[in-house]
A and B are shown apart, each in its own frame.
Chain A
Amino acid sequence: MGTLYLTATHVIFVENGSETRKETWVLHSQISSIEKQATTATGCPLLIRCKNFQVIQLVIPQERDCHDVYISLIRLARPVKYEELYCFSFNPKLDKEEREQGWKLVDLNEEYNRMGIPNNYWQISDVNRDYGVCDSYPTEVYVPKSATAHIIVGSSKFRSRRRFPALSYYCKDNNASICRSSQPLSGFSARCLEDEQMLQAIRKANPGSDFIYVVDTRPKLNAMANRAAGKGYENEDNYSNIKFQFIGIENIHVMRNSLQKMLEVCELKSPSMSDFLWGLENSGWLKHIKAIMDAGIFIAKAVAEEGVSVLVHCSDGWDRTAQVCSVASLLLDPYYRTMKGFMVLIEKDWVSFGHKFNHRYGNLDGDPKEISPVIDQFIECVWQLMEQFPCAFEFNERFLIHIQHHIYSCQFGNFLCNSQKERRELKIQERTYSLWAHLWKNRADYMNPLYRSDHSQTQGTLRSQMAPCNFLYKFWSGMYNRFEKGLHPRQSVTDYLMAVKEETQQLEEELEVLGERLANLQKSQLNDNKDKSKQQEQSKQLRLSTSNNSLANTPQEYSNDLKSFPSRSPSQGDEEDSALILTQDNLKSSDPDLSANSDQESGVEDLSCRSPSGGGCLPSEDSGKDSDEAVFLAV
């Protein structure tokens, strides 16, 4: 029982009755589908599926009201203009300078400098300065020194969407590089001298190697079919010194269906082990994840072990290519496994190279066939690696989950639009805030306690095992069932270790201070003793807080037939949310887990400043635009 509010930005459900006010906040941009179900005796059920894998069922007593809510939500969940998105109204109370500072946190020129570029072999090219050559590429592109503007432009004309080969990653130890492009317009026999010269230039930029790999990430059949449309793949006979390789990653449509199937399995009510495993297999999801990983591993090996440069492409070079390049970079360079480096990686391989965030994640109402969980798959690849290499990443699972959340939330401007060009036209940086600054501010929550910069796992290339290690790939319940808290380990090792680490550090610092004091006040022993006892007290407190077992000891339902759907809805998780997280207050400020009234920056605070009446923290009917219609309902 409770009250449902629809505001300009959120669906808010406030539960009545309980002593502690329980609120569920859902951003409109997170809504993936709304389904009206058959009316029952208690009312009309409305099923809302979210892009962050939350599923909410509302039962509305009156059919009429239900329909109104349904119609309103459909409109609210499908904005048609960028200006309707949350990031344009979201105000985290930062001043202009702080906002600009936030956008400067990730600087790609700095990143290429870090790689050691420009150098003797690579340079920055301004050939695309007004997006004149390729409108989905960034203005600043890194190319081999020997590739003249003529070669670049010529090559771009021979590539799908004019996405010519450009540098993604450079390994300064052995000069091997990873470049990316779209497919060549080769059809059955077409050639392009400039494109051939372009690939030569890439090879020459790595003097230690006499060939390059060209990796087509598509299944061979798909690539061959493309030839009929005048596209296709490189003919080894036409390009000197290339080794051509297919890696069969399926296209966005297959991936969309695969996720759909897997989510259906996640939604099953009390599935048997067989139902689950069979459904998981049938969805093909883990097979696809493994295909992406294998491609990344292949490229990382070529670069690190063979010292050979690689050119990667798929069809347009903005989905599979982005996945594979970023997985390979992550394996190759420990920097990308740090928090800051990971932000840089996403900014480099996804944002700047024109991954179509708007189309893929359905930020604006568009063609549903364009939607596909491309970056979700990359994020899962990272998680799978974290499971295999627990000490290798500076960040934890929560970091990945929050990034996934914000790719869909449209709360920050980073992932808006389909290209850098569109973002500049919209003046995103002047009108919205950067997610990276927000995450960086709360970085304490995202730390992996097992990470140590001097640990062997944080050095050099990660050597993940390739086939036949199927068993390494596991279902990620922390992501796809993340709102069903009952399914997860009920005790968080990460949080506990973080607390232990923090405490150790504190104690060490204290010890140091005390040591100094001891030296100074050797005569007055009394004083010193007092401090020591204080120190002990503190450590006792920690023990207490971590051994709070209320979470672990929450009973479950074990007789299958008793479990009905609503009992598995996220609201169940809320109660359990209260314990065990040690730095709860800190966490909440950054936790996009909207099921637990935790999203302060997107929540009450913001609404109160939008509400003209000012005082109340609840949204009210007169909050502005048409779409702001608020519906008050007893549910």
Chain B
Amino acid sequence: MLAVPGIDLLFSSVPQSAEFRLVPVWLLTLANSSGTITLRCKDLKVLQLEIPGMEECLNIASSIEALSSVDSVMMMYPFFYRPQSLKLEEGWHLFPLQQYFQQIASQVSLEGRDPAMLRSSQPLTGPNRKRCREDEMLLGTVLEEGERGFIIDTRSAQAAKQARMTGGGTEPKSSYPQWRRLHRGRPLQESFIKLVDACNDTAINMDRWLNRLESCRWLSHVKAALSTACLAAQCMDREEANVLVHGAEGTDTTLLVTALAQGLLEREWIKAGHPFHLRCARSAYSHARLKQEAPLFLLFLDCVWQLSRQFPFSLEFGERLLLTLFDDAYASAYGTFLCNNEKERCLCKVKENTHSLWAWLNQPGERKKYLNPLYLPNALVIWPSVEPQSIQLWQGLFFRWIRSSQYLDEAWAEIQRLVEGNEPPVKDSAGNRLSQSLSDPTAQPENGR
């Protein structure tokens, strides 16, 4: 039996059975031929529904089509979703932006000498090499006399040069004497689509597989993003220099790099929802279609996964949180990832009319599922390896629906069992840690620094 209510697609193989399998409606493409509907879901799942009768099949297809392409944000699921355990408006103020910026600001002004990381979009130098006094002064105020700063341009030098023709460009050395410019970055193209195609292609042999993996260049992007983030972190940590990161619009790669570098410097930021996260996701996805958007948020999550693999003790959360964030960024019952920017979200009254994903995740029962049992707080900077040998394909995501993860899940359960078996004697300290972050999440940033 197939039921197509407003939001979720419900499918039950046995009529009259009480159990319904929840299937996400976030469809990408619909291909129907001779009574078969293929659903390609945004979470990379592929479903095939055999529908007897051509007409019925077409009807169902058009219903799904219509329901999966809701135009208005206000008609989307988060505006209707009302879980019993949550109250509206809860969680939206857990991590107020102002507080975060206040903190950063106080750091910059009070502690002065500590390195700060700034982000912006490209300067509008243009072909005539325009200058802007105010911009130069603004950057000048960050640096004291004799101090050096790094500008990390997340575009390649080539791309930056091209941008000059359209009015954009780079900071000329002569106008910004204290800053050193570094170019990093590659265009992120159809990697993601190609990779998913390759993963779903069951007919290829070993040779072709590595070839496809290479040609989709996804792992190259992961490596590039990681090393750029490391570079930024290194500039800050080792050289104690200030860093300004910008790409073309200051929304995509820029966010990726700053978020990652922050992650490197301070891993606690994700404690169920740092505003960085939010902003990053907003720019990368919104409700736009995959073809128009680059999966930057996914790239970011992949990078975090690479970190968790290289530093199994250093992240407080496990793979499961990353997967949940990925799913929710694409299609969610929560309003957290809706819209493109703060302005749009105010217009849609997102905070008033939807629930926050962070509030959901922060419930004690939920929270536990996402924690890394091996977590040991490590206040120092972690320096991952960015050599190709150390970077792996994130199987848990790209093969989530293709291979069985039973044996790996069992291993995870075993780890949990071992660590928890060990817990009683140290329960106090662990318990403290948990309850602290639960009861007072806003106090968190101070702890981290």
Give Cα A392 to B312, complex, Å. 21
Q: A271: CB under 8 A from chain B? A: yes
Of A34-42, A361-369, A438-446, A470-478, the one touching chain B: A470-478
Q: Chain A residues near B399 (CB, 8 Å)?
A: 471
Q: Which of A275, A277, A496, A554 contacts B313 (CB 8 A)?
A: A496
Contact A486 B385 (CB under 8 A): yes
Chain A's closest residue to B182 (CB) is A559
Contact B415 A450 (CB under 8 A): yes
With contacts A287-B205, A553-B381 taken as known, whether A281 is within 8 angstroms of B425 at the C-beta atoms is no
Contact B380 A553 (CB under 8 A): yes
Q: A253: CB under 8 A from chain B? A: no
Give Cα A287 to B205, complex, Å. 8
Contact A280 B380 (CB under 8 A): no
Contact A273 B223 (CB under 8 A): yes
Give B202-243 as 1s and 0s: 1 = Cβ < 8 Å from A's Cβ atoms.
111111011101100101101100010011001001100000
Q: A488: CB under 8 A from chain B? A: yes
Contact A273 B312 (CB under 8 A): no
Q: A87: CB under 8 A from chain B? A: no
Of A159-167, A501-509, A627-635, the one touching chain B: A501-509
With contacts A273-B220, A504-B422 taken as known, whether A475 is within 8 angstroms of B382 at the C-beta atoms is no
Q: Chain A residues near B414 (CB, 8 Å)?
A: 390-391, 450, 452, 455
Q: A221: CB under 8 A from chain B? A: no
Contact A471 B393 (CB under 8 A): yes
Give Cα A284 to B210, complex, Å. 10
Contact B202 A281 (CB under 8 A): no
Q: B445: CB under 8 A from chain A? A: no
Give Cα A456 to B383, complex, Å. 37
List which B173-204 residues lie within 8 A (CB) of chain A: 199, 202-204
**Most chain A CB inside 10 Å of its own CB: which residue of B230, B238, B393, B422:** B422
Q: A547: CB under 8 A from chain B? A: yes
Q: Chain B residues near A284 (CB, 8 Å)?
A: 207
Q: Which of A290, A389, A487, A543 contacts B385 (CB 8 A)?
A: A487
List which A180-208 residues lie within 8 A (CB) of chain B: none
Contact B374 A496 (CB under 8 A): yes
Contact B388 A275 (CB under 8 A): yes
Q: A467: CB under 8 A from chain B? A: yes
Contact B374 A493 (CB under 8 A): yes
Q: A564: CB under 8 A from chain B? A: no
Contact B380 A558 (CB under 8 A): no
Q: A17: CB under 8 A from chain B? A: no
Q: Chain A residues near B237 (CB, 8 Å)?
A: 555
Give A488-504 as 1s and 0s: 1 = Cβ < 8 Å from B's Cβ atoms.
11110100110011011
Give Cα A389 to B390, complex, Å. 21
Give B259-273 as 1s and 0s: 1 = Cβ < 8 Å from A's Cβ atoms.
000000000000000
Give Cα A559 to B410, complex, Å. 39
Q: B376: CB under 8 A from chain A? A: yes
Q: Chain A residues near B46 (CB, 8 Å)?
A: none
Chain B's closest residue to A557 (CB) is B234
Give A273-299 as 1s and 0s: 1 = Cβ < 8 Å from B's Cβ atoms.
111111011001011001000000000
Contact B378 A553 (CB under 8 A): yes
Q: How far is the CB of A284 from chain B (nearest CB, A)?
A: 7
Chain B's closest residue to A467 (CB) is B205
List which B371-416 residues lie within 8 A (CB) of chain A: 374, 376-378, 380-393, 395, 398-399, 403-404, 407-408, 410-411, 414-415
Q: B314: CB under 8 A from chain A? A: yes
Contact A456 B374 (CB under 8 A): no
Contact B383 A554 (CB under 8 A): yes
Q: How far is the CB of A430 from chain B (nearest CB, A)?
A: 44
Q: B418: CB under 8 A from chain A? A: yes
Q: B432: CB under 8 A from chain A? A: no
Chain B's closest residue to A503 (CB) is B422
With contacts A469-B403, A554-B383 taken as known, whether A474 is within 8 angstroms of B392 at the C-beta atoms is yes
Contact A274 B211 (CB under 8 A): no
Q: B429: CB under 8 A from chain A? A: yes
Q: Chain B residues near A549 (CB, 8 Å)?
A: 314, 378, 380, 382
Interface size for chain A: under 10, 10 to 19, 20 to 34, or 35 or more residues?
35 or more
Q: A552: CB under 8 A from chain B? A: yes
Contact B421 A504 (CB under 8 A): yes
Q: Which of B207, B415, B422 contacts A287 (CB 8 A)?
A: B207
Q: Chain B residues near A471 (CB, 8 Å)?
A: 199, 209, 393, 395, 398-399, 403
With contacts A273-B223, A496-B374, A504-B422 taken as known, whether A457 is within 8 angstroms of B312 at the C-beta atoms is no
Q: B66: CB under 8 A from chain A? A: no
Give Cα A353 to B385, complex, Å. 43
Q: Chain A residues near B227 (CB, 8 Å)?
A: 558
Give Cα A471 to B421, complex, Å. 34
Chain A's closest residue to B428 (CB) is A536
Chain B's closest residue to A389 (CB) is B407
Chain A's closest residue to B199 (CB) is A471
Q: B161: CB under 8 A from chain A? A: no
Contact A556 B408 (CB under 8 A): no
Q: How far is the CB of B374 from chain A (nearest CB, A)?
A: 6
Q: Chain B residues near A392 (CB, 8 Å)?
A: 407
Q: Chain A residues near B390 (CB, 8 Å)?
A: 477, 487-488
Chain B's closest residue to A559 (CB) is B231
Q: Chain A residues near B313 (CB, 8 Å)?
A: 491, 493, 496, 546-547, 552
Q: A465: CB under 8 A from chain B? A: yes
Q: Chain A residues near B277 (CB, 8 Å)?
A: none
Q: A481: CB under 8 A from chain B? A: yes
Contact A546 B376 (CB under 8 A): yes
Contact A390 B411 (CB under 8 A): yes
Q: B310: CB under 8 A from chain A? A: yes
Give Cα A286 to B234, complex, Å. 35
Give Cα A507 to B424, complex, Å. 10
Give B422-434 as 1s and 0s: 1 = Cβ < 8 Å from A's Cβ atoms.
1001100100000
Give Cα A266 to B426, complex, Å. 43
Give Cα A547 to B377, complex, Å. 8
Contact A491 B217 (CB under 8 A): no
Contact B411 A539 (CB under 8 A): no
Contact B220 A274 (CB under 8 A): yes
Give Cα A473 to B395, complex, Å. 11
Contact A273 B380 (CB under 8 A): no
Contact B411 A391 (CB under 8 A): yes
Q: How far is the CB of B411 from chain A (nearest CB, A)?
A: 4
Q: B419: CB under 8 A from chain A? A: yes
Q: Which of A286, A488, A554 contacts B206 (CB 8 A)?
A: A286
Q: Which of B207, B211, B230 contacts A556 (CB 8 A)?
A: B230
Give Cα A486 to B206, complex, Å. 28
Chain B's closest residue to A280 (CB) is B210
Q: Chain B residues near A275 (CB, 8 Å)?
A: 388
Q: Chain B residues near A493 (CB, 8 Å)?
A: 312-313, 374, 415
Q: Chain B residues near A503 (CB, 8 Å)?
A: 422
Contact A286 B383 (CB under 8 A): no
Q: Which of A465, A473, A475, A547 contacts B378 (CB 8 A)?
A: A547
Q: A613: CB under 8 A from chain B? A: no
Give Cα A290 to B210, complex, Å. 13
Q: A388: CB under 8 A from chain B? A: yes
Contact A281 B403 (CB under 8 A): no
With contacts A493-B415, A497-B415, A558-B386 taken as known, whether A391 is within 8 angstroms of B407 at the C-beta atoms is yes
Chain B's closest residue to A554 (CB) is B383
Give Cα A175 to B219, complex, Å. 48
Give Cα A549 to B202, complex, Å. 42
Give Cα A550 to B374, complex, Å. 17
With contacts A497-B415, A500-B422, A556-B383 taken as known, whether A490 is within 8 angstroms of B310 at the C-beta atoms is yes
Contact B429 A543 (CB under 8 A): yes
Q: Which of B395, B404, B418 contacts A449 (CB 8 A)?
A: B418
Q: Chain B residues near A271 (CB, 8 Å)?
A: 387-388
Q: A287-B207, A390-B414, A552-B383 are in contact. List 5 more A-B contacts (CB 8 A).
A: A272-B220, A471-B403, A484-B387, A487-B390, A489-B309
Sample 19 A-B pairs with CB under 8 A, ordered by A number: A266-B389, A281-B211, A287-B205, A287-B207, A389-B407, A390-B414, A467-B205, A470-B205, A471-B403, A475-B389, A477-B389, A481-B389, A504-B422, A536-B425, A539-B425, A539-B426, A552-B314, A552-B378, A555-B234
